[in-house]
Chain A
Amino acid sequence: MSKEKFITLKSTAVPLPIENIDTDQIIPARFLKATTREGFGENLFRDWRYDSEGKPKPDFVLNDPRYKGKILVAGKNFGCGSSREHAAWALADFGFRVVVSSFFADIFKNNALNNAVLPVTVSDEFLNKALRTIEADPSTEITVDLENQTITLADGSSETFDINPYKKTCLMNGYDDIDYLLSLRDEIRNYELTHS
């Protein structure tokens, strides 16, 4: 089933300079009771974003009117912990298309890619520079070019990032993994017959 295509994105960004942000912070377990994929954005970063009465915490970045955009820039080891794809759904539902960090947890990375949210791994230096740039000027824009695999700050400083060529093709064309796997069903049947 085709998904939204991703080619380039130029957007303001939201800084979240905290390391080891686990998927329980991105979406706490008590909000995983839905049986559909929609609506998780409401509870993205729930316990950092709202107090126990449900009022927005003014010191959390998503409640700071200066910061908006489709790019989240976060500290090292983003998305560690639980395999819940709800974390990727929550980020996508909230409107993020890119997460920039110097290190991603494996399962989160796959889940993000399966939901057209692009994880961009940069060096620690570039990450720190990006965070400083956004904090100095929240209206600054970051450009992510998937075709050329580059991320560029407003001052022109740029870094290339890695992405598996298969996943790149999928994202750029809006394909998903199941389309590919379903095309291999005969080979899979044959494997089953010869390996049982």
Chain B
Amino acid sequence: MSQKPRTLFEKIWDLHVVKQREGYPDVLYIDRHFIHEVTSPQAFAGLRKRGIKVFNPSRTTATADHNVPTLNQHLPIREELSRHQVETLKKNCEEFGITMYGLGHPYQGIVHIIGPELGLTLPGMTIVCGDSHTSTHGAFGAIAFGIGTSEVEQVLATQCILQHRPKTMRIEINGKLGKGVVSKDIILYIISKISAGGATGYFVEYAGEAIRNLSMEARMTICNMSIEMGARGGLIAPDDTTFEYIKGRKYAPQGEAFEKAVEQWRQLATDEGATYDKVLQFDASDIAPMITYGTNPGMGIKVTDRIPTVEELKDINEQTSFRKSLEYMGLEPGTPLLGKPVDYVFIGSCTNARIEDLRMVASIVKGKKKAGNVEVWIVPGSKQVEAQARAEGLDKIFEEAGFQLRQPGCSACLAMNEDKIPAGKYCISTSNRNFEGRQGPKSRTFLASPLMAAAAAITGRVTDVRELV
């Protein structure tokens, strides 16, 4: 069958269209649905109200992550509303026949960390979750995106979702990364170039030598933050790195079935001659360790640069928001961030709480102690990450450095639980959002890589990690 060349995104999308009708959004079949305690209760309530069952319970997996404590998880959750929310998830999963990895289960963790580590996330799939960082799973060559609760209900009720096909964008990072520069810096760099809304309406494919050279963990960090430039999702064509990561994981195909699957997955690449609605190219050698100074993820600079001045802004309409943002952050336009004291260091979230992230941190802090002025929280992404960190002795390195190794959850990334940065305090964070109040009312966030966060933990101030490696 001769067909016009297609992008990877188009191939996966086309294969999942159940129904196409003029003037209507496509009916898209969903292979994997993840749910958590915060955005699912109203969806289950909707099913009950309609008197219907879950269409295909085997395709949905649940965990508790957004609203769980990261200390003493063996005890009942103290906060009543949070406890009720987590218990509601458990009851809903029991009633509707959905597998749940709740608190205390060895597979519990942040939804976007456990999916890949359990082999539930596979190339060529369509994956949704009521969480915007579902884009993480795109690292495996899947179409993965966040949805609202009404859409969670749609998927539970019919295993399908109504979606308009987004435009496609290719972002190429060519060449090799420099010393101390990691995948978090790549994505913060891209967003700083195209802004927090620069990819709205698009689905992004990341490509180029610098992307190919990344591990799966690093690829997940990049795809994770696609939403921070407005993209519905981001994906990377699967390759041997992907297949190697998946091999032997609990729910991945095993043995002969795995070999057969790999053969199919190798077809998941953009055809020669396929076109995108937009193509952007960047040179890896221009990327440096990055840090954000403002209140959206597009407000980022190289750690050695200074904050822009009002006059340097391209869009005059942005000036009011820019001033408001810097006022919130307690920073002056035109000044550097390097050397700025920080109060907290948060290493965690679906962006950077995988084993490789923890290893990165350990590589910087081994044999050192944290600065006296900072409090450091390390929140592993899952029970499996936590166990692996302990098996490798990373917990000892953290303990000797004065870092607190907590239990898995979303934690201070969105501060729904008790893990809040106090008002007015500065936190260098490996998470994904620096919005006003995101890490607690009036908290101030600097987004950066695990290496940069580790460096700041040791010096107590914003530091160019390249001076320590």
Contacts and interface: CB of A to CB of B under 8 A. Distances in A.
B448 interface: no
Interface stretch (B24-32, B171-179, B361-369): B24-32
A36 B67 contact: no
A36 B29 contact: no
Interface residues of A, number: 55
B416 A30 contact: yes
Given A35-B41, A181-B157, A188 B18 contact: yes
Contacts of B415: 29-30
Contacts of A37: 42
Interface string A37-72: 100000000010000100000000000000000000
A83 B161 CA distance: 15
A135 interface: no
B45 interface: yes
A83 B146 contact: yes
Interface string B36-77: 001101100110011010011000000000110000000000
Contacts of A1: 46, 49-50
Interface stretch (B78-86, B352-360, B450-458): B78-86
Contacts of B25: 164, 166
Nearest to A21: B321
Nearest to B89: A35
Contact of A25 (B15, B196, B435): B435
Contacts of B85: 33, 35
A180 B149 contact: no
Given A85-B148, A182-B158, A35 B29 contact: no
B250 interface: no
A18 interface: yes
Nearest to B164: A164
Interface stretch (B329-337, B373-381, B394-402, B436-444): B436-444
Contacts of B318: 19
Contacts of A29: 66, 414-416, 438
A164 B26 CA distance: 12
A83 B147 contact: yes
B224 interface: no
B132 A184 contact: no
* Range, interface on chain B: 35 or more
A6 interface: no
Contacts of A191: 18, 29
Contacts of B320: 17-19
Given A24-B438, A77-B196, A178-B158, A106 B201 contact: yes
Contacts of A84: 38-39, 148
A184 B131 contact: no
A61 B414 CA distance: 26
Contact of B158 (A19, A107, A185): A185
Contact of B150 (A18, A82, A114, A165): A114
B67 A33 contact: yes
Interface string A81-119: 111111010000000000000010111001100110000
A115 B24 CA distance: 18
A36 B46 CA distance: 10
B150 A195 contact: no
Given A106-B201, A177-B162, A81 B435 contact: yes
A33 B19 CA distance: 36
A80 B438 contact: no
B407 interface: no
A61 to B, nearest CB: 14
Given A35-B45, A83-B147, A184-B18, A77 B197 contact: yes
Contacts of B19: 184, 187
Given A25-B435, A33-B38, A81-B132, 13 more contacts: A24-B414, A25-B437, A29-B438, A33-B81, A47-B436, A85-B150, A106-B200, A114-B150, A165-B23, A166-B25, A184-B27, A188-B159, A191-B29
4 closest Cβ contacts across the A-B interface?
A85-B148, A35-B41, A111-B148, A33-B81
24 contacts: A30-B415, A32-B38, A33-B85, A34-B81, A35-B84, A35-B88, A47-B436, A52-B442, A75-B321, A76-B317, A77-B200, A84-B39, A86-B149, A105-B197, A107-B227, A164-B25, A165-B23, A176-B150, A177-B150, A178-B46, A181-B160, A188-B18, A188-B158, A191-B18
